[in-house]
């Protein structure tokens, strides 16, 4: 199946506006500026009940967390970690996605504004994320079912948080939702060859650049906190929803993660999107495929919090 027409149109428009220089030729600041530009293209967010910002204590200080509440009482708590290659993004950049999930799922969602690389390299982001889960479970759950979720590098953090919660008597999780998660650092997988440098939003050179910002010492990348696919055991992890898209260099590592979950008899839903690329899920109101996938994730959340 070919790349979705709306995805190709976006790529054409993006290339026309920004040029074709790959991320290694750009500064972190330029990449962050480009990344933040998508929000203004998305229009209005769905109506929800309220939004507030909390401060969460972490090693070395505090991070902010934005809490999104539905209209009416929430049925569950989703702790969400945004994507951005460990380097880019903040909750405000993804508020259209968060509003949609809250409105469609009737949950409280807390978006953790973890500290970014390269200013704060591994393991800061993953540690901040787990601290955010622990704080949210204590202060925001109110007895509600708890789900961890994330897209791309945020999927990395969600997967690590779920395993840490299992291993260290953390909060009981009702589910984890991993949207095209980064689960390994092996650039030799077939999906890196097929979609590594084909003009997509994220290619092989992008991923190499992101990893260099996040974990410049290759020796630390093999650990399960950096590459959750390499965890010794998947038994006892919470039920999982894994979204895998075809036009994506991390396709195969996301599939491999799902395969290990299934082998460990973890209830697993694999949602395969044959005509989309890495990054599309957060483009609510811009792509029909994004809105459809968000609706499926929201349906999964409802099935978890209202069994």
Catalytic residues: 152, 248, 278
Q: Which residue has the tokens 């491999």?
A: 256
Nearest one of 258, 207, 217 to 22, comparing CA atoms: 207
Helices 95-105 & 288-305 angle (0-180, nearest 10) = 40
Nearest one of 298, 300, 291, 299 to 273, comparing CA atoms: 291
Q: Is 207 left (phi over 0), alpha (psi -120 to 50) or beta?
A: alpha
DSSP tag of 46: P
Question: Three-class SS of residue 291?
Answer: helix
DSSP tally for the chain: helices H, then strands E: 9, 8
| DSSP per-residue codes, 84-113 | STTTS--GGGGHHHHHHHHHHHT-EEEEE-
**Cα dihedral sign for 102, 248, 278, 132?**
positive
| Beta-carbon contacts of residue 236 (< 8 Å; ≥ 6 apart) | 166, 264, 266
Q: What's the order of all strands across the beta sheet hosting 61-69?
A: 50-58, 61-69, 108-112, 77-81, 146-151, 175-179, 240-247, 268-277
- The CA–CA distances, whole Å, from 267 to 24, 113, 176 equal 39, 29, 11
């Amino acid at each position: 199946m070919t790349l979705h027409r709306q995805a190709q149109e976006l790529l054409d428009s993006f290339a026309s506006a920004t040029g074709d220089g790959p991320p290694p030729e750009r500064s972190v600041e330029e990449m962050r500026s480009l990344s933040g530009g998508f929000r203004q293209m998305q229009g209005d967010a769905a109506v929800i009940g309220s939004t507030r910002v909390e401060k969460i204590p972490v090693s070395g200080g505090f991070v902010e967390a934005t809490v999104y509440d539905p209209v009416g009482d929430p049925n569950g708590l989703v702790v969400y970690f945004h994507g951005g290659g460990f380097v880019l993004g903040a909750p405000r950049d993804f508020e259209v996605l968060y509003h949609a999930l809250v409105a469609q799922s009737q949950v409280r969602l807390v978006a953790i504004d973890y500290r970014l690389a390269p200013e704060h390299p591994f393991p800061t982001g993953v540690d901040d994320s787990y601290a955010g889960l622990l704080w949210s479970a204590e202060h925001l759950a109110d007895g509600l079912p708890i789900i961890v979720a994330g897209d791309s590098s945020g999927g990395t953090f969600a997967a690590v948080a779920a395993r840490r919660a299992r291993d260290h008597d953390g909060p009981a999780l009702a589910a984890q939702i991993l949207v095209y998660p980064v689960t390994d650092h092996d650039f030799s997988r077939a999906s890196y060859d097929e979609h590594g440098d084909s003009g997509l939003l994220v290619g092989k050179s992008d991923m190499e650049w992101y990893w260099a910002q996040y974990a410049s010492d290759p020796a630390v990348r093999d650990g399960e906190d950096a590459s959750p696919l390499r965890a010794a055991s998947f038994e006892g992890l919470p039920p999982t929803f894994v979204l895998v898209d075809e036009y994506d260099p991390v396709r195969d590592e996301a599939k491999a993660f799902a395969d290990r979950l299934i082998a460990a008899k973890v209830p697993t839903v694999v949602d395969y999107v044959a005509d989309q690329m890495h990054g599309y899920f957060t483009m609510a109101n811009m792509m029909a495929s994004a809105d459809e996938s968000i609706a499926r994730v929201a349906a999964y959340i409802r099935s978890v919090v209202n069994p």
